[in-house]
Amino acid sequence: MSHAKLFIPGPVEISQETYEAMCTPMIGHRGSEFQQLYAAIQPRLQTLFGTTGPVYLSTSSAWGIMEGALRNTVIKKVLNCCGGAFSDKWYDVAKRCGKQAEALQVEWGQPILPEQVDARLATGQFDTVTLIHNETSTGVMNPLAEIAAVVRKYPDVILIVDTVSSFSVVPTPFDELGVDVLLTGSQKALALPPGLAIFAVSPRAMERASQLSDRGYYFDFHEFHENHTKNMTPSTPCIHTIYGLRQKVEEIFAEGVAQRYERHAKLNAIVHDWVASEGFHHFAPEGYRSKSLTCIANNKGIDVDKLQKLMKQNHAIAIDGGYGKIKGKTFRLSNMGNETEESITILLNALDESLSHL
């Protein structure tokens, strides 16, 4: 069977160059070759994260660090900003870790507003906040800078931010925003295979972690840091995905980071023009729409399942038919990774052709 090209919002299509880079022979993870590999990627990651501090590599999907960050920081109570599948789940995960947690719940498709965060933090109950910058399930991009500014009024509150589907799509400057934990995963905006989480931790969050004695081992921030000073990871990492990451960061810098941001904005705008021309609506309100994917409201009542099947059978393209409770009520198109004007045009033409059969 032919491969259906992925336009789902993760995992996204992987380039031939990345696959080839991953065919580099295996090396030991405690030797100088691995240390050189790790050290070579570090300055690129620091630039992308906007930090002068370390950037750590975790062999896990993003959820490893999403859960780990809670175990490293929450002593009193965490405020989980919830408004979609991933952010709602983070609240559930906090409770499963035995943490005191409260959901700041907005309706799916709505953004988290800074004043809502401020009002909850003003109660003095919380020492940690979780925020998903780009809620992939709803296509909402939350106002990160404004929310970070509010949290920074509270010096003892740790801000954990998930940028899984926005990292390298729009700037997320860690130091400048005053974020305490910023994490991303490999298989979405970075267009790498799954299995790697990448994250930065502020000195304030490291200090908080020192006060917790039940951080465990695999996601212990201090373990990551100690190994980082030797250009290593705590346990055997996914070396091949790290080879892929080396190729990816070189590719990003060859394109230019600003150019990469511009390309994503432009491709996203092309999809938005198509949405308008077809008479569809967006699930997210204007001003809060993702730049890496488009979550389209099914206001025309089309058969989304059939659309997906036609796209796959006739065009070898995989699109998403909506996540969780908004399955069929929405569908999503990704413009993450290595897409171009040409490839997005192919996608939109295929959608037009498929819609004509519905």
Ligand X SMILES: *Cc1c(COP(=O)(O)O)cnc(C)c1O
Summarize as ranges the residues that interact with ligand X (CB under 6 A). 10, 61-63, 86, 132, 134, 136, 162, 164-165, 185, 188, 194
Minimal CA–CA distance to 89: which of 70, 74, 73? 70
**For residues 181 and 201, what is the distance between their CA atoms, to the nearest angstrom?**
5
Burial class (CB in 10 A: 0-12, 13-18, 19+), 115: exposed
H/E stretch holding 296 reads strand 293-297
Q: How far is the CB of 91 from ligand X (least distance, A)?
A: 13
Q: How far is the CB of 132 from ligand X (least distance, A)?
A: 5
The amino acid occupying position 334 is: S
**For residues 295 and 272, what is the distance between their CA atoms, to the nearest angstrom?**
10
Of residues 46 and 61, the one with the C-beta less far from ligand X: 61
Of residues 10 and 83, the one with the C-beta less far from ligand X: 10
Q: Which residues pair with 158 in a beta bridge?
A: 128
Of residues 53 and 194, the one with the C-beta less far from ligand X: 194
Q: How far is the CB of 86 from ligand X (least distance, A)?
A: 4
Beta strands in 18-115 (DSSP E): 56-58, 78-82, 101-105
Of residues 63 and 253, the one with the C-beta less far from ligand X: 63
Q: Is the dihedral of CA 116, 176, 54, 255 positive or negative?
A: positive
Q: 69 near 58, Cβ under 8 Å? A: no
Q: How far is the CB of 181 from ligand X (least distance, A)?
A: 13
DSSP β-ladder status, 101-105 and 78-82:
parallel
Of residues 162 and 320, the one with the C-beta less far from ligand X: 162
Of residues 21 and 295, the one with the C-beta less far from ligand X: 295
Backbone angles phi, psi at 313, to 5 degrees: -70, -45
Q: Which residues pair with 159 in a beta bridge?
A: 129
Which tokens hold the place of 85?
């599948």
Q: How far is the CB of 134 from ligand X (least distance, A)?
A: 6
- Which residues contact residue 177 at a Cβ distance below 8 angstroms, ignoring those fewer than 6 apart? 50, 144, 145, 148
Q: How far is CA 131 from the centre of its chain?
A: 11
Q: How far is the CB of 89 from ligand X (least distance, A)?
A: 8
Of residues 185 and 244, the one with the C-beta less far from ligand X: 185
H/E stretch holding 160 reads strand 158-162
Of residues 27 and 85, the one with the C-beta less far from ligand X: 85
H/E stretch holding 135 reads strand 134-135
The amino acid occupying position 288 is: Y
Q: How far is the CB of 72 from ligand X (least distance, A)?
A: 17
Of residues 87 and 308, the one with the C-beta less far from ligand X: 87
Q: How far is the CB of 247 from ligand X (least distance, A)?
A: 20
Q: How far is the CB of 194 from ligand X (least distance, A)?
A: 6
